[in-house]
């Protein structure tokens, strides 16, 4: 069992710095087994979304765990077609029903959809959900600086989290600096890239050898030491166990610099300005 440190969000809520992402985990047995293994090994943050189609399985796994609800930090996300005030409220009710809980810890707008132009209206619904204590924190996902600036100009409530694609080849430095200035925690998805491509880098392998760790553990440690929340996805028990075993070593400044040098803007998901459906 590993103890994961917490970060404090801008509203005082504590969030585990490492969690399990369940994108592409099939609803039912697959996602439930993955979460069971995660809970057994000390994970307490589970990150899902309506579009993943596995909220029901996530809820079942939470119930089966024997953990108290307040011991689990549960994130889900609003899908693009549900943006807009009324649609958001209905979609949130649907997520709660599937998850089998009466609140979520973090609710995120999944994509900004800037050409659709509904995210500020959607955010008003998020503020209502927060005010009604149906969510403990609200945030966004895939928002770039321009989207955040627009949102901040239309709202008094600053997002607690911005969850974005982030890995050594897409370090998002400008975005991280902006979020730091506005007290928004950055959360890394696809932290190892989709196929783990970054794990084949010679520099990562050399660092792993020096620390007697795996390349995946080295890259996840890079996220942690950058002050990021990180949610590696896996349904493989051995990898779920491996991914949390990163709190007994520390990368040196030279190690960090070598990984930083891999940044080449290599995005593997759509650019947020280009996804509009």
Buried b (16+ CB within 10 A) or exposed e, 97-127: ebbebebbbbbbbbbbbbebebbeebbebbe
185-189 and 229-230 as β-strands: parallel, antiparallel, unpaired? parallel
* Cα–Cα dist 154/93, whole Å: 25
| Number of other CB atoms surrounding residue 246 within 10 Å | 26
Buried b (16+ CB within 10 A) or exposed e, 154-186: eeebbbbbbbbbbbbbbbbeebbebbeeeebbb
Q: Which residues are catalytic?
A: 52
Our measurement of the distance from residue 250's CA atom to the centroid of its chain's CA atoms, rounded to an integer in Å, reads 22
Residue 12 neighbours by CB under 8 Å, 6+ apart: none
Residue 184 neighbours by CB under 8 Å, 6+ apart: 10, 139, 148, 158, 159, 160, 161, 162
Question: Which backbone phi and psi does 77 adopt, to 5 degrees?
Answer: -135, 150
């Amino acid at each position: 069992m590993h103890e994961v440190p917490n970060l404090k969000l801008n509203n005082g809520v504590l969030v585990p710095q490492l969690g399990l992402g369940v994108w592409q985990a099939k609803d039912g047995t697959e996602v439930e087994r993955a979460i069971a293994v995660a809970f057994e090994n000390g994970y307490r943050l589970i990150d899902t979304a309506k579009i993943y189609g596995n909220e029901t399985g996530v809820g079942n796994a939470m119930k089966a765990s024997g953990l108290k609800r307040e011991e689990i930090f549960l994130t889900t996300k609003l899908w693009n077609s549900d943006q807009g005030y009324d649609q958001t409220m209905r979609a949130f009710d649907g997520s709660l029903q599937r998850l089998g809980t009466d609140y979520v810890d973090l609710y995120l707008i999944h994509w900004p959809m800037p050409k659709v132009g509904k995210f500020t209206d959607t955010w008003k619904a998020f503020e209502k959900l927060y005010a009604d204590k149906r969510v403990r924190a609200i945030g966004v996902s895939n928002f770039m600086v321009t989207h955040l600036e627009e949102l901040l100009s239309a709202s008094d409530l600053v997002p607690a989290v911005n969850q974005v694609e982030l890995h050594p080849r897409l370090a998002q430095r400008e975005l991280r600096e902006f979020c730091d200035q506005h007290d928004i925690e950055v959360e890394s998805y696809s932290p190892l890239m989709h196929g783990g491509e970054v794990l084949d880098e010679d520099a990562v392998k050399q660092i792993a050898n020096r620390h007697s760790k795996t390349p995946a553990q080295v890259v996840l440690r890079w996220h942690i030491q950058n002050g990021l929340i990180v949610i590696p996805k896996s349904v493989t028990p051995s990898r779920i166990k491996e991914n949390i075993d990163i709190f007994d070593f520390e990368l040196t400044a030279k190690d960090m610099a070598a990984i930083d040098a891999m940044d080449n803007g290599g995005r593997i998901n759509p650019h947020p300005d280009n996804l509009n459906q």
